[in-house]
Chain A
Amino acid sequence: MLATIGVGSVQEIVERQIPEAVRLGRPLELPGGLSEQDVYAHLRALAERNTSAEDELSFLGAGMYDHYVPALIDMLTERSEFLTPYTPYQPEISQGGLQVMFEYQTAISELTALPVSNASVYEGSSAVAAAAYLAKLQNGGHRLIVSAGLHPHAIETLHTYAHGYGMDVVEVPLSEGLTDPQAWEQAIDADTSAAIFSQPNFYGAVEDAPALSAAVASAAGHSGQAGAGAASSGTREGGASARAPVARRPLVVAQVDPITLGILRPPGECGVDVAVGEGQSLGNRLDFGGPSFGFFAAREESLRRMPGRIAGETSDVDGRRGFVLTLQTREQHIRREKATSNICTAQALNALAGVVYLTWLGRRGIVELGELLLARTHYARERLAGLQGVEKLHDQPVIREFAVRLDADVAQVRRRCALQGVNPGVDLHALTGRPEDRGGLLVAITERRSRADIDRLAEVLEAAVAVSEKRPAGEAVSA
């Protein structure tokens, strides 16, 4: 090979190109290589030092959930043909992946009752920031009104991005577990670009989404414009004036938990303009936080400002149906600094798991699963709220997660529960840092947690609360 190239050594090729001053000139200070079985043993030993949902009775949630992942998802996502290709730049040899994207977009559109979906974004929190950027492109406003019921990671991510976009983030507090409707309406002004809430919210409560959307429309002085009701299926032309602001009204953005959408009124029927969220619940592993996928759905007027890949239907020269990446003039590799987003690689394989999961659940299954989660979560909340030293954090309807307040130190309680093999949920104050969340415990219920598991949680939690240090009087359980 060297003779063909006409050099004496590989080093010569390198030395002729890299100036001596910036050559490393020594070995990297890293351990030597290992055999496959030794790497496996090392990674397995590390895995064993983690307490996973396999090792304890876990009620952790707050954005990622221990739902069951059917075996066929592993089988399909491990297939070379899905696992190892790059982004489908050559559609003739990528019809499988492109059709999966098209089916995924259809499933997300159905789930959210919004007509357009892209092929995935990174995950749930940055999806909210991406929606805010779309709002800025669409209406040019500078303020983002955010419910305190949004996931704290999403709020923090939004702050990070908004500083770059040149937008201000204004937080609206909760009242009785829900976004305070008056504060929400008052916060919206003529420079508001988007109003963002979570459904259900971070504390598990089902928000009155139609009322929040209507308040945005009314506050912005465009009553009747925001949220034109049920979405139509199919996609119409996004409009020739796609790059000019269509209307100077704030967009209603909802971060939605997709697993609830079998039973919960979908965002498209609640006046929501952009629905985003974390897709992990849909057939993806916990993986200590990723990779999963974010979904992004919107109304037709936003189509040409959407971030990320979109698969579209077309036909080949022989008239056969086929799929391509479409509307690429939005994207960075074509538009460069004028692109609607910088996103390139997203989460195609995770989105595949998502659409296969939704197909596996099916039209009836997603409703049945929703009803089961609803019933068990309700049972769990009543069961826990009946314990000595435990009360509900709010009284609003919940679907698969709820918050309680303990009269004892949450960290201590959680440690005691762990000794019994139970992880009772997320320490709210540790996650949000909000003073009002002291004593708060966020408990997630999936279909993997049976009534017996919930009863076991109640038993262990009650015992732990009883013997743990009481919180200072100032933080006592309020009436």
Chain B
Amino acid sequence: MSALSEGRVHADPGIDSHPSVNGEQAAHANPPRPVRPGDHATTIFQKGAPGRRAFVCPPLDVPPLEPDELLPRRFRREQAPRLPEVSEPEIVRHYVGLSKRNFDLDSGFYPLGSCTMKHNPRMHERVAALPGHARLHPLQDPERAQGALELMWNLQEALAEISGLPHVSLQPSAGSHGELAGVLLSRAFHEDRGETRHRVLTPDTAHGTNPATVTMAGLEVVVLATDAAGGVDLDDLRAKADSDVACLMLTNPNTLGLFDPNIEEIAAIVHGVGATLYYDGANLNAVMGLSRPGDMGFDIVHFNLHKSFTQPHGGGGPGSGPIAVSERIAPYLPRPLVVRREDGAFDLDFERGSSIGRLRGFQGNYGCLVRAYAYICSLGADGLRDASEAAVLNANYLLARLKQEGVAEHLPLVYGELCMHEFVLSGGPMKRALGIKTLDLAKRLLDFGYHPPTVYFPLLVDEALMVEPTETESRETLDAFADAIAAILREAAADPEIARNAPYTTPVRRLNEVAAAKHPVIREDLG
């Protein structure tokens, strides 16, 4: 394997060195580093030996009984599940070893568009771990969970103010769960008026979760076109908005990073046919304290607490997707809701006759709520606005720096001139002139120590590259990233093969995804 590896790694003559790349991991490393033991990706199931263990069971302190007396044999498992047999030090080494095969936000710039990879303050982990939060049972009596309910109430109030919509449910587990809540709420609203509406409008720039959610909620997706300026095509909207439309799902600023200048007109058209307006809050980080979905005319909004409000993403969750709604939608909110009684005590309200019901067990991802609440307490009113303004500033600065570096020739901004918190470039000209695709650029960025931007989304931009720097990055980081992009393009002009075969310095190189899907192996074969 070692020989094969060395034989195929491409030498990299294109650039000299780069300040963000240290010597050992240098992008131009030649010869390549040797294959390390961890490269074999041995799973925990392939380690250890029979009888090895970490867990010490507490002693049996009750009278022993015949096993069959406790649980009849026909209910019993005959062979123990083949879990690993390893010691604690082996477990620690294994997973610490795996952790070192991950890139993470604490290690470097992570401008993944639409994901808002802002800094995750460590204080939030500390407060969430306090036993009064972490070991609180979800069915504890409300009078003995007043601190948790007060926290949830305060968070509801804050989210209501930020969104401009007065009623909040903290129950949804993530953004797409909040979307499902929203579409079901919209359905319930219409059904309560004796109307059965079948269609939901979503722009072609929408996140994939929007149309997928509509299908799960039993409704039909109708796609809206985008106009030349990057907003909703008003003519198309007028043509498709009719009395069979339940809802329009919109992200604003949209996934092109553009605030729709026609938002008032859009709201008027949608409300004019009796439909509701749903706000996908994935891009809320652009507008906190600057503009509110409720004031734009939206009826329902979901928040991604793992984006705008610093819940760490955990490599794919947990998240939390609270929703805020207008007065007319409030009767249908999921139950239970956190309420404040007249005597000032906090409680869970289950008596909600028109509610769509539950979306999950218990009260939501409380641990994520603690972190989001801590964040809002830290920043306060001005801090939240400052965060959004800085996010917008950083995105526009990076966009401008890329133009300065001559990158725009190969990676032009297709829509607009300025942007909100993120922007989308097209790699089409780069592909044609330099012979490298957006995917190649992204893979080459890995060698420079960056997580690449989101690629190939939104779908209407050819070879899309979607960049969201967030407010927590310094000017120096943005400059270095712009330099790296420019360097890769120069390198590609000299030799496109370098980017086409990148990355070189990562724990593994390009992986065969087609083979993985064609013949799925999704668990270790234990024989």
Shortest Cβ gap from A88 to chain B (Å): 6
Chain A residues 420-479 with CB under 8 Å of chain B are: 423, 426, 431, 447, 450-452, 454
CA–CA, A63 to B362, complex, Å?
Answer: 9
The smallest beta-carbon distance between B87 and chain A, in angstroms, is 9
Given contacts A86-B117, A289-B366, contact A363 B522 (CB under 8 A): no
Report Cα–Cα, A285/B138, bound state, in Å: 11
Take A40-B123, A85-B102, A290-B367 as given contacts and tell me if A336 and B314 are in contact as well, using a CB distance cutoff of 8 Å. no
What B residues does A100 contact at CB under 8 A? 95, 98, 315
| B357–chain A nearest beta-carbon distance, Å | 4
- Given the interface pairs A24-B291, A287-B133, the reply to whether A102 lies near B316 with Cβ below 8 Å is no
Contact A362 to B41, CB < 8 A, known contacts A156-B357, A375-B70: no
Identify which of B52, B91, B123 gathers the most chain A CB atoms within 10 Å of its CB.
B91
Q: Which residues of chain A from 32 to 69 have any CB-CB distance to chain B below 8 Å in the complex?
A: 32-34, 36, 39-40, 42-55, 58, 60, 62-64, 66
Closest 4 CB pairs of A and B: A47-B132, A289-B362, A349-B314, A33-B380
List A contacts of B104 (CB < 8 A).
80-85
In this assembly, does B524 line the interface, its C-beta being within 8 Å of a C-beta of chain A?
Answer: yes
Verify B218–A342 contact, CB threshold 8 A.
no
Q: Is B60 an interface residue (CB 8 A)?
A: yes
Query: How many whole Å from A19's CB to the nearest CB in chain B?
Result: 6
Most buried by B among A7, A345, A452: A345
A287 neighbours in B (Cβ, 8 Å): 128, 133-134, 136, 365-367
- The answer to whether residues A92 and B446 also contact, given A10-B389, A363-B83 and a CB cut-off of 8 A, is yes
Q: Is the CB of A313 within 8 A of B509?
A: no
In the bound complex, residues from chain B placing their C-beta under 8 Å from that of A101 are 316
Give 1 or 0 for each of A341-355: 1 = CB within 8 Å of chain B CB: 111111111101001
Contact present for B83 and A27 (CB under 8 Å): no
Binary flags per residue of B469-513, CB closer than 8 Å to A gives 1, else 0: 000000100000000000000000000000001010011111111
> Are B215 and A337 neighbours in the complex by a CB distance under 8 Å?
yes
A327 vs B517: C-alpha distance when bound (angstroms): 5
Asked if A266 contacts B527 (CB within 8 A), the reply is no
Known: A85-B315, A125-B360, A290-B318. A110 touches B82 (CB 8 A): yes
Flag whether B77 is at the interface (Cβ < 8 A).
Answer: yes
Interface presence of A372 (CB below 8 A):
yes
Closest to A314 in B: B516
Q: Is B382 on the interface with A (CB-CB < 8 A)?
A: yes
B398 to chain A, nearest CB (A): 10
Q: Are A375 and B60 in contact (CB under 8 A)?
A: yes
Contact of B508 among A45, A157, A159, A322 (CB under 8 A): A322
Which of A113-121, A186-194, A244-252, A386-394 touches B?
A113-121
Is A141 interfacial (CB 8 A cutoff)?
Answer: no
B506 contacts A93, CB within 8 Å?
yes
Interface segment out of the listed A161-169, A219-227, A401-409: A161-169
Whether A345 and B319, one on each chain, are in contact in the complex, defined by CB atoms closer than 8 angstroms, is: yes
Q: Is A361 an interface residue (CB 8 A)?
A: yes
CB distance from B123 to the nearest CB of A (A): 5
CB-based contact B360/A30 at 8 Å: no
In the bound complex, do residue A52 and residue B216 qualify as a contact, i.e. CB atoms below 8 Å apart?
no
Query: In the bound complex, what is the Cα–Cα distance between A360 and B56 (angstroms)?
Result: 10
CB of A46 within 8 A of CB of B366, answer no
Q: Which residues of B contact A4 (CB under 8 A)?
A: 397, 400-401, 404
Given contacts A14-B392, A314-B515, A362-B53, whether A62 and B366 have CB atoms under 8 Å apart is: no
Cβ contact within 8 Å between A109 and B523: yes
Name the residue among B91, B216, B264 with the largest chain A CB count within 10 angstroms.
B216
Alpha-carbon distance between A173 and B400 when the two chains are bound, in angstroms: 66
Verify if B250 is at the interface (C-beta below 8 Å from A). Answer: no
A122 at interface, CB cutoff 8 A: yes
Q: Count the A-B residue pairs with Cβ separation under 8 angstroms: how many?
A: 721
A18 touching B290, Cβ below 8 Å = yes
A228 CB within 8 Å of chain B? no
CA of A397 to CA of B507 in the docked complex: distance in angstroms? 50
Interface stretch (choices B12-20, B369-377, B407-415) = B369-377
A325-343 interface bits toward B, Cβ cutoff 8 Å, 1 = contact, 0 = none: 0111101111111110111
Q: Does A301 contact B (CB under 8 A)?
A: no
If A28-B385, A288-B138, A339-B215 touch, does A19 touch B173 (CB 8 Å cutoff)? no
Q: A122–B362 Cα gap in the complex (Å)?
A: 12
Closest chain B CB from A210 CB (angstroms):
8
Residues of A within 8 A of B509 (CB): 92, 316-318, 320
Point out the residue from B99, B253, B292, B361 that lies within 8 Å of A153, measured CB to CB.
Answer: B361
Whether the pair B523, A164 counts as a contact (CB closer than 8 A) is: no
Whole-angstrom CA separation of A287 from B148 in the bound complex: 10
- 8 Å CB contact of A364 from B80, B175, B318: B80
A374 CB contacts on chain B under 8 angstroms: 70-71
Q: Which residues of A contact B85 (CB under 8 A)?
A: 362-364
Closest CB in chain A relative to B341 CB, distance in Å: 16
Contact B176 A343 (CB under 8 A): yes
Q: Does A72 contact B (CB under 8 A)?
A: yes
**Are the C-beta atoms of A50 and B175 separated by less than 8 Å?**
no
Bound-state CA distance A334–B86 (Å) is: 39
**Contacting residues of chain A (70-85) with chain B, CB-CB under 8 angstroms:** 70, 72, 74-85
Are B527 and A30 in touch, CB under 8 angstroms? no
Taken together as a complex, chains A and B put the C-alpha atoms of A450 and B289 apart, in Å, by 52
Q: Is A234 touching B521 in the complex (CB atoms < 8 A)?
A: yes
> A204-231 toward B: CB 8 Å interface, digit per residue (1/0)?
0010101000000000000000000000
Give the chain A neighbours of B232 by CB distance below 8 A: none
Rounded to whole angstroms, the CA-CA distance of A98 and B135 in the bound complex is 29
Cβ A49 vs Cβ B150 within 8 A:
yes
- Which of B74, B81, B140, B364 makes the CB contact (< 8 A) with A266? B81
